[in-house]
């Protein structure tokens, strides 16, 4: 699993602009990445933080080149990049049939 975080306070973009990027480009591009089991884009507007959580099917898959322009749009490398081993997973019961295309970027 990989966690990537940026502080946008001194960046070239905003959370609103990154949400448009998700809707228009990034979500579709990442749905085609081999070996990527789950990706969630995350934000905290009051602290101007943006990032993502990735879960890969293997360490080898995690080395796949990504179709992301986030570094270009933000204008710098992430402030935090951490990788972890996944010890266990669970998929909870939910009324939501599908997790794809959920979140603030699609609430407009």
Structural domain including 29 reads 2-89
**Pair 98, 27: CB distance under 8 Å:** no
Q: Is residue 101 part of a domain?
A: no
Q: Is residue 94 part of a domain?
A: no
Q: Is 22 exposed, middle or buried (0-12, 13-18, 19+ CB in 10 A)?
A: buried
**Measured distance CA(95)–CA(56) in Å, rounded:** 25
Q: Is residue 100 part of a domain?
A: no
Residue 13 CB-half CA count within 13 A: 18
Q: Is residue 97 part of a domain?
A: no
Return per-residue pLDDT of the chain as tens, 108 residues: 999 999 999 999 999 999 999 999 999 999 999 999 999 999 999 999 999 999 999 999 999 999 999 999 999 999 999 999 988 887 776 665 666 666 677 776
Residue closest to 18 by CA, chosen among 81, 78, 65, 96 = 78
């Amino acid at each position: 699993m990989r966690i990537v975080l940026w502080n946008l306070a001194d960046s070239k973009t905003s959370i609103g602009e990154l949400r448009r990027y998700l809707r228009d480009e990034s979500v579709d591009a990442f749905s085609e990445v081999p070996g990527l089991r789950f990706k969630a884009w995350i934000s905290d507007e009051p602290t101007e933080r943006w990032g993502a959580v990735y879960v890969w099917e293997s360490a080898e898959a995690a080395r796949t080149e990504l179709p992301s322009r986030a570094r270009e749009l933000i204008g710098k490398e992430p402030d935090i990049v951490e990788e972890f081993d996944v010890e266990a997973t669970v998929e909870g019961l939910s009324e939501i049939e599908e997790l794809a295309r959920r979140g603030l970027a699609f609430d407009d």
